[in-house]
Structure 1
Amino acid sequence: MAKELEGKVAAVTGAASGIGLASSEAMLAAGARVVMVDRDAAALQALRGKLGEAVIPLVIDLLDPRDCATLLPKILEKEGRLDIFHANAGTYVGGDLVDADSGAIDRMLNLNVNVVMKNVHDVLQHMIARATGDIIVTSSLAAHYPTPWEPVYASSKWAINCFVQTVRRQVFRHGIRVGSISPGPVITSLLADWPAEKLKEAKEQGSLLEAKEVADVVMFMLTRPRGMTIRDVVMMPTNFDL
């Protein structure tokens, strides 16, 4: 692969597994230094050993407001600047609303919506000062369709889709591109909450995506000419509509 991100500094939240890990690996392969943000310190250290010195581990609990606020200062302390921010960390609550735990709802909305807004708010100030930057947010196909088996999760992604598209229109004049990626179901730990029969059916039908496939689209968005913004990519397995 051409080193299309050579010299760039990226940060990815929820980077220790799933889409965040695949996105980090793709950016590393393209020549970027990647601040991998996660609360799992052991996993980050293991990944640095596996992926090399271009990995900068950053242990942050994004659900802790004080810890969350240290994201940009710690990135700048370690690397001095930030060119790319992938707001990927998220969680999932599925099933009937009447069966959902209210504490789980609070945690999910905090991580999927509030944390994304706060992180983007913080990194934007740095990027505006530099008059350049890329921000990508992991959204979901659920942001575009009222998925009946996940009203809480889908609502969080509808909210974040609105956030991405409105912020994009505010900051493009500063040389900053903001976009989201909206994949259908991806084989990650988030699917652990799916009903067993639904997960089994999806696997048998070939209606799940691999995290690397999502990372490939992230790279497509990042490597377009600066005069082009990919504002949102909706991607799904071909068999998802079965």
Structure 2
Amino acid sequence: MRPRPLAGLVIAVTGGARGIGRETAAHLARAGARVAIGDRDAEGARATAAELSGEVTGFGLDVTDTASFVTFLADAERRLGPIDVLVNNAGVMWVGGFADEPESATARQLEVNLHGVIRGVKLTAPGMLARGRGHIVTIASAASKLSPPGESTYAATKHGVYGYLSGVRAELRGSGVRLSVIMPGVVDTELAAGTATGAARLLSPADVARAVVAVIERPRFEVTIPRYIGPSTRWLNVLPQPIRDALYRAMVPDQVRSTAGGSARQAYESRNLTGTDTPGAER
């Protein structure tokens, strides 16, 4: 299959002010796409858009608010044209023992990571269906398949994203609208500050951005980074439970242990999850 050219495509990226979203927007713009980035930090989104080369425009966007999402999409379409691709990237993560997780952090992860994706799909897919084409790419996590200690709620949201997209994909079969879910391991962003990588290497935002470009060029549903995570999880799941548990302990990081007593996550979590600091970008 020939790669689909990105030149001229209108692509919207949520959580685009920094981290994975910023790097994804940069890669897409360099490939010739017309990019709209939305972020809870509206000034940050506009500043990022001004700094990147190519055609990039920044807007305010709160993925937990339907009116905000509708406005973002409408403004992006007025400026750039109908949206060909939505990249659901915005996400938040609280790390620690399940019993210590503040209720506000639990609610925030569910609303941003899961409901934000559902909202994005429901708001963009109808227009794509009417045109008979479109692509929704969601940045999930290897936690869609695994559940590291210390990330129980985060993993639950990512399992939910995978399940939701699987069902919607079945409904959209034959419509011309494609879905993709990208599941990276630990990425070197503020969201993952202070966490461990386990057996896998630490990824860069550029690793994820390249995967987004590649999956738009050649659509497929599941993408894991590193690639071996997908086959490994399928293979592990056929093993007896005691052997599976031992291998998971060897491969998957214990994030309760890795973050115990540290302060590396304090600023991020207070800003994005517990409401004790100035709001900022999510991923």
Of 157-166 and 206-215, deviating more is 206-215
With the length of structure 2 as denominator, give the TM-score of the two structures.
Answer: 0.75
1:215 equivalent in alignment to 2:218: no
Matched letter for residue 206 of structure 2: K
In 2: Cα distance, 1:129 partner to 1:170 partner: 15
- The verdict on how the C-alpha distance between 1:206 and 1:138 changes in structure 2, with shifts beyond 3 A counting, is closer
How many Å apart are 1:68 and its aligned residue?
2.7
1:16 equivalent in alignment to 2:17: yes
State the match for 2:94 in structure 1.
93
In 2: Cα distance, 1:3 partner to 1:86 partner: 16
How many Å apart are 1:52 and its aligned residue?
3.8
- The verdict on how the C-alpha distance between 1:237 and 1:169 changes in structure 2, with shifts beyond 3 A counting, is closer
How many Å apart are 1:119 and its aligned residue?
1.1
State the match for 2:278 in structure 1.
none
Of 70-79 and 134-143, deviating more is 70-79
State the match for 1:58 in structure 2.
59
State the match for 1:46 in structure 2.
47
Unaligned 5+ segments in structure 1 are none
Deviations 1:86-120 (A, max 9, x none): 00101002211100000111111000011110111
Matched letter for residue 56 of structure 1: T
After superposition, residues 1-242 of structure 1 pair within 5 angstroms as 4-52=5-53, 54-192=55-193, 194=194, 198-199=195-196, 202=197, 207-224=201-218, 229-236=219-226, 241=251
How many Å apart are 1:158 and its aligned residue?
0.2
The root-mean-square deviation of aligned C-alpha atoms, in Å, is 2.3
Deviations 1:34-93 (A, max 9, x none): 001112222222222221460111112223343233232222222220101100101002
Of 140-149 and 25-34, deviating more is 140-149
Q: Given that residues 208 and 237 in structure 1 are in contact (C-alpha distance below 8 angstroms), is that contact kept between their aligned partners in structure 2?
A: no
Q: Aligned to 2:174, what secondary structure does the other structure show?
A: helix
Matched letter for residue 207 of structure 2: E
Matched letter for residue 166 of structure 2: Q
Matched letter for residue 58 of structure 2: P
Unaligned 5+ segments in structure 2 are 229-249, 253-283
How many Å apart are 1:130 and its aligned residue?
0.7
The count of aligned residue pairs is: 230
In 2: Cα distance, 1:212 partner to 1:10 partner: 17
How many Å apart are 1:3 and its aligned residue?
9.7
The structure 1 segments of at least 4 consecutive aligned residues displaced by more than 4 Å after TM superposition are none
How many Å apart are 1:149 and its aligned residue?
2.1
In 1: Cα distance, 2:138 partner to 2:153 partner: 18
Higher relative contact order (CA 8 A, sep 6+): 2
Q: Given that residues 185 and 236 in structure 1 are in contact (C-alpha distance below 8 angstroms), is that contact kept between their aligned partners in structure 2?
A: no
Q: Given that residues 18 and 48 in structure 2 are in contact (C-alpha distance below 8 angstroms), is that contact kept between their aligned partners in structure 1?
A: no
Q: Aligned to 1:173, what secondary structure does the other structure show?
A: coil
- The verdict on how the C-alpha distance between 1:79 and 1:9 changes in structure 2, with shifts beyond 3 A counting, is same
Deviations 1:152-180 (A, max 9, x none): 10000000001111111211311011010
Q: Given that residues 8 and 32 in structure 1 are in contact (C-alpha distance below 8 angstroms), is that contact kept between their aligned partners in structure 2?
A: yes
- The verdict on how the C-alpha distance between 1:79 and 1:113 changes in structure 2, with shifts beyond 3 A counting, is same
